[in-house]
Amino acid sequence: MVVQFLDIAIGGLLTGGIYALIAVGFGLQYGVARVLNIAHGEFIMLGAYCTWTLFTSVGVTPLVSMLFCAPFFFAIGFVIYRIYYTPLRKSSESPAVFEGNSMLASFGLLFVVQNLALITWGSPVKGYSYLAFPIQLSGAVFSANRIVTLIASVFLGSAFYVFLLRTRIGKAIRAAAQDPGAAELMGVRINRVLALCFGFGVMMAALGGLLLSMTSIMLSPVMGMQYTLIAIIVVVLGGLGNIKGSFIGGFILGLVGYIVSSSQPGLSMVAYYVIFLILLLVRPTGLLGK
């Protein structure tokens, strides 16, 4: 009985950790930078593919790849925001118009990134094996790589949380999330902060993808969308703009996904959607939202 419970709990956590990470990234992009980035999942996919390439061609292990991927994808996100979303924000008549436009633009970005991946890596699925040996935890058996991803996502999430709380940039981000106008008046360079947030968002997506690729799943250029949806649902579940909420929501959803997958594989997305629906009906502000 206890073994079953632990199995479920840990299994859920393993998936949930990655969900939480990608949700935090998405939340930064939507909550602060005000971009509903439906291409988010594509960067997750890119992170996974980059890791695969680094591992299979150059032999760099995923955990080491992080040191490259993190700054690389951060830079990509930062640059994309600077050269595209910043001018779009300036030319949009109102924040509401910008929200709509930036979402549509992300839709375009989705196809750009997805097809770049298709061109670069082709459509057949890929995968690699790393740290795939089993580990026993209280009677239940898990793959070592999954445990490593859990540790990694918790570490990354906490590191970011501390970053937000303690550093100057972190405080600027929190100010911009609360009230961009006021933050600007207080000297926060809004354009820079928003671009940073978008960069962090892409970075977390890529790191999430990196961790995902470690769990021996099959990579395909079209795998991104479902993760975008998961990120959306987790963010709504946890409450918009709430990092703790995204973490809690991520783990809850991971748990649900694990439980549903064990009994009915292929229905986890449906389960997530049911949760989404209930949320929208009953409490759109989420568990921890205002």
Q: How far is CA 58 from the centre of its chain?
A: 26
Q: Please identify, using beta-carbon distances, which residue of 91 and 178 lies nearer to other proteins.
A: 91
**Quick check: 66 binds other proteins (CB under 8 A)?**
no
**Quick check: 191 binds other proteins (CB under 8 A)?**
no
Q: CA dist 74 to 3, 27, 199, 201, 234, Å?
A: 40, 15, 4, 8, 22
Q: Please identify, using beta-carbon distances, which residue of 115 and 158 lies nearer to other proteins.
A: 115
**Quick check: 118 binds other proteins (CB under 8 A)?**
yes
Burial (Cβ within 10 Å: 0-12, 13-18, ≥19) of residue 2: exposed
Q: Please identify, using beta-carbon distances, which residue of 107 and 155 lies nearer to other proteins.
A: 107
User: CB 262 → other proteins: shortest distance, Å?
Assistant: 15
User: CB 151 → other proteins: shortest distance, Å?
Assistant: 30
| From 46-54, 81-89, 140-148, 179-187, span contacting other proteins (CB under 8 A) | 81-89
**Quick check: 207 binds other proteins (CB under 8 A)?**
no
**Quick check: 270 binds other proteins (CB under 8 A)?**
yes
Count of residues interacting with other proteins (CB under 8 A): 42
Q: Which residue from 59, 187, 266, 282 is in contact with other proteins, where contact means CB under 8 A?
A: 266
Q: Which residue from 229, 259, 261, 287 is in contact with other proteins, where contact means CB under 8 A?
A: 229
Q: Please identify, using beta-carbon distances, which residue of 71 and 108 lies nearer to other proteins.
A: 108
**Quick check: 105 binds other proteins (CB under 8 A)?**
yes
Q: Which residue from 28, 33, 36, 54 is in contact with other proteins, where contact means CB under 8 A?
A: 36
**Quick check: 139 binds other proteins (CB under 8 A)?**
no
Interface residues with other proteins (CB under 8 A) are 36, 38, 84, 87-88, 91, 99-101, 103-105, 107-116, 118-119, 225-226, 228-229, 232-233, 236, 264, 266-267, 269-270, 273, 276-277, 280-281, 284
